[in-house]
Amino acid sequence: MIVVISSEKGGTGKTTISTNLAIIRAQKGMDVFLIDADSQRSATDFSAVREQEGHQPSLCCAGISGPGTYEEIRKMSQKFDDTVVDVGGRDTITLRKALLAADMVVVPFIPSQLDIWGLDRMDEIVGEAKTMNENLRAISVMNKVDSNPKIILKDEALTIAKGLKNIDFSELTIGYRVSYRRCIADGIAVTELQKSKKDEKSIVEMLSLYEEVFKDA
């Protein structure tokens, strides 16, 4: 299965979700390829830390970009059970081509005004991809959800996410938690944290997202 993690906005959690899903899938015994299709190369840096620290299962990671993205993803993914692609937060040829190669796209968004506006644009981009890639499945996931209801636009964001035409609404949300920041720094997924009470919620919610994404694979 080829899963693309993408949003037109920066900082929504694409790399966090890509790396977590890739590792959890590898923990299930699958041969997983993590493609870094973002020029910032954050997933590549993450993979380098993971390798340096000797964490198992190891992740195969490579960077790609540009007009050849579709062909490269298709070709490179053949050698693996599953491929997870972390795409940069802008409307680029790389994003457009990655969506043509994908079985599924996960669109993370933050309940903030600027992110909510970005969702409509991403919905259009996914809609255009679906005209050429009919079987593309798309879901949105609200990330960095603060537990303080006063300082977030959760209800407004939910209404907009539910109204999108091409991206299915998922009930899944990911909380704003320090566990995710620790994992990125250490080259691990939340499921690899030393299980303490405060990490439990992040493990449960990331496993729920994993189950939704790979349910048909």
Q: What residues line the site for Mg ion (CB under 5 A)?
A: 14-15, 42
Answer yes or no whether residue 42 interacts with ligand ATP by CB under 6 A. Answer: yes
Pattern of binders to ligand ATP over 161-200, x per CB under 6 A?
-------------x-xx--xx--x----------------
- Let me know: does 82 contact 1? Beta carbons within 8 Å: yes
The CA distance from 186 to 30, in Å, is 22
Q: Please report how the helices 200-213 and 14-27 are oriented relative to each other, as an axis angle in degrees rounded to 10.
A: 80
- CA within 13 Å, CB half, 159: 6
Binding segment toward ligand ATP, per CB under 6 A, in 13-21, 121-129, 132-140, 164-172: 13-21
CA 47 to chain centroid, in Å, comes to 15
Tell me which of 23, 89, 122, 213 binds ligand ATP, using CB under 6 A.
89
Tell me which of 6, 69, 143, 166 binds ligand ATP, using CB under 6 A.
143
Closest alpha carbon to 80 in 29, 116, 124, 38: 29
CB of 157 to ligand ATP, least distance (A): 14
Instruction: Select the binding partner of residue 10 from ligand ATP, Mg ion, none (C-beta < 5 to 8 A, by kind).
Output: ligand ATP
Tell me which of 26, 73, 144, 167 binds ligand ATP, using CB under 6 A.
144
The CA distance from 188 to 56, in Å, is 9
Which is nearer to ligand ATP, 180 or 210 (by Cβ)?
Answer: 180
Which is nearer to ligand ATP, 81 or 193 (by Cβ)?
Answer: 193
Answer yes or no whether residue 82 interacts with ligand ATP by CB under 6 A. Answer: no
DSSP 28: T
CB of 108 to ligand ATP, least distance (A): 7
Q: Where are the alpha helices (DSSP H) in 61-216?
A: 69-77, 93-101, 113-132, 154-162, 178-186, 200-213
Tell me which of 6, 8, 14, 130 binds ligand ATP, using CB under 6 A.
14
CB of 89 to Mg ion, least distance (A): 7
The CA-based dihedral angle spanning residues 175, 181, 187, 189, taken in that order and rounded to the nearest 10 degrees: -10
Task: Give the CA distances from residue 14 to residues 55, 132, 145, in Å, rounded to whole numbers and listed in that order.
Answer: 21, 24, 15
- List interacting residues with ligand ATP (CB under 6 A): 10-16, 38, 40, 42, 89, 143-144, 174, 176-177, 180-181, 184
